[in-house]
Amino acid sequence: MNRETTDDDIASEPRAAGTAVHIAPLSALSHEILDAFRGRGQTVMHSWEWLQSAVEVYAPDQEASVYYVGAKDRPLALAPIYRTAGLARRYRLVGSIDTGETVDVMHTDGAVVTSLVKALLRISRPLDFGHFPKNALLTECIESLAKGKGVVVKRRLPMRAMPFLALANGSAYPEKAISKKRRGKLKRYRRTASKVGAVKTRVVIPTQSDVRALLDQFIAVEKNSWKGKMRTALAYDRVQAEFIERFCTMAAQRGMVRFCFLDVGDTVAAAQIAAVFDDRFWSIKIGYDERFAKFSPGELLLMDLVKYAVDEGLTHFEFCGKEAEWTRRWTSSAHEIVALRYYPFNAFGAIAVLEDGAALIWNRVKSTWRNRSFSRPQRV
């Protein structure tokens, strides 16, 4: 960030004490403070472990600030942000666009979001909020309060995000989550797999010292999938792999992490990295070995993990990331999302517009190349 900040810093003009916006280093937070938002739209991406790992990996100076309303030990709303590298000096929500996940500002009372947005606009720098639910209060506040100060670009994305299964009355899961025809197929796939070797699902709750070896197992499996061919697997993305390792290591201290494997004989055919947080099962990363693709090992593992979530008494099974063909086989529930950016009327805003225009052109070129070089459908 630009300067040292403390919890005594005030970002807003004088107002009622209950709506004043304070600034503090992100390090001033803790998982106990953030857990006050549980049950109010908080996701695993709002956990202390996710935010701190994102700062350590993606923030250029490994620092971030949190803008918050209310008492520091029990805020009513907060937005953790950091400044990116580059001439535009733009600011981002921590743990959002860098990880490709849907992240909204945290709040217990919608009325205080207005105060938070006013403080963010006073930074007078480009703001990149990534993508988040279409009906989020942040969108309405930004569009209303930015008038005369800058340009808000809101783009509704064609795909939905964060598919989920509600597991209330979950004794019939996962059977009732998928069609009878699909259930029959998966039973046949399991029988086919059992002819190769014994089929077994393992869910490992690691200690911090276990994480590296278990992550290596996941990376080896994922590398053998379509992600390996596309070179988007963790084996080819050092930065993302570092983030996942840091998150898992931190989260293992609270017993949140689950490394999940489907073994066929002595070989791992599919794997997931997941977390249990706020009484929900969060599927963070998935991978499978294409040598076993003929019996969809990823879906066999998924079926067992939904059963696991039900047995653990969890309320939801959450698929992180975007909706895809394979997630729609399990659930039609997902969140419509928008991408939101703010460009102030100053030199930094103009530079950001030029940077984003160039990036858009380049991404379209890359997308065209990928579509020509790899056209097979994605599977799990």
Per-residue model confidence as pLDDT tens digits over 293-352? 999 999 999 999 999 999 999 999 999 999 999 999 999 999 999 999 999 999 999 999
The pLDDT of residue 12 is 45
pLDDT of residue 220: 95
Confidence of residue 10 (pLDDT cuts 50, 70, 90): very low
Tokens at residue 297, please? Answer: 């090992």
DSSP state of 59: S
Ramachandran assignment for 365, one of left (phi > 0), alpha (psi -120 to 50 degrees), beta (any other): alpha
Pairing type for strands 21-25 and 267-277 reads: unpaired
Taking only the tens place, the pLDDT of each residue in 350-370 is: 999 999 999 888 877 776 766
| CB of 323 closer than 8 Å to CB of 161 | yes
> Does the pLDDT at position 5 exceed 50?
no
**Alpha carbon distance 285, 35 (integer Å):** 23
Domain ranges of the chain: 9-161+336-373, 171-320
Work out the average pLDDT over 365-380: 60
pLDDT at 173 over 90: no
Q: Give the pairing of strands 280-288 and 316-319.
A: parallel
Which positions ≥6 away from 258 have C-beta within 8 Å?
203, 204, 205, 272, 273, 274, 275, 276, 281
Q: Reply yes or no: is the peptide bond before residue 174 cis, omega within 30 of 0.
A: yes
One fold for both 9-161+336-373 and 171-320? yes
Q: At what angle do helices 113-121 and 137-145 cross, to 10 degrees?
A: 50
Higher pLDDT, 19 or 191: 191
In this predicted structure, what is the pLDDT of residue 2?
41
Mention the CATH class of domain 9-161+336-373: alpha beta
Q: In which region does residue 202 sit, left (phi positive, over 0), alpha (psi from -120 to 50) or beta (all else)?
A: beta
Chain centroid offset of residue 157 CA: 16
- Summarize pLDDT for 261-282 with one digit per residue, the tens: 999 999 999 999 999 999 999 9
Task: Provide mean pLDDT across the span 231-255.
Answer: 96
Instruction: Give the number of other CB atoms < 10 A from CB of residue 166.
Output: 13
What would the CATH number be for the domain defined by 171-320? 3.40.630.30
pLDDT in tens, 187-224: 999 999 999 999 999 999 999 999 999 999 999 999 99
Per-residue pLDDT band for 14 (boundaries 50, 70, 90) equals: very low
Q: Under DSSP, is residue 212 helix (H, G, I), strand (E, B) or coil?
A: helix
Question: Checking DSSP bridges between strand 127-133 and strand 91-93, what pairing results, if any?
Answer: parallel
Q: What is the pTM of this model?
A: 0.88
Nearest to 279, CA basis, from 362, 166, 192? 166
Contact predicate 289/262, CB 8 Å: no
**In 3-state terms, what secondary structure has residue 296?**
coil
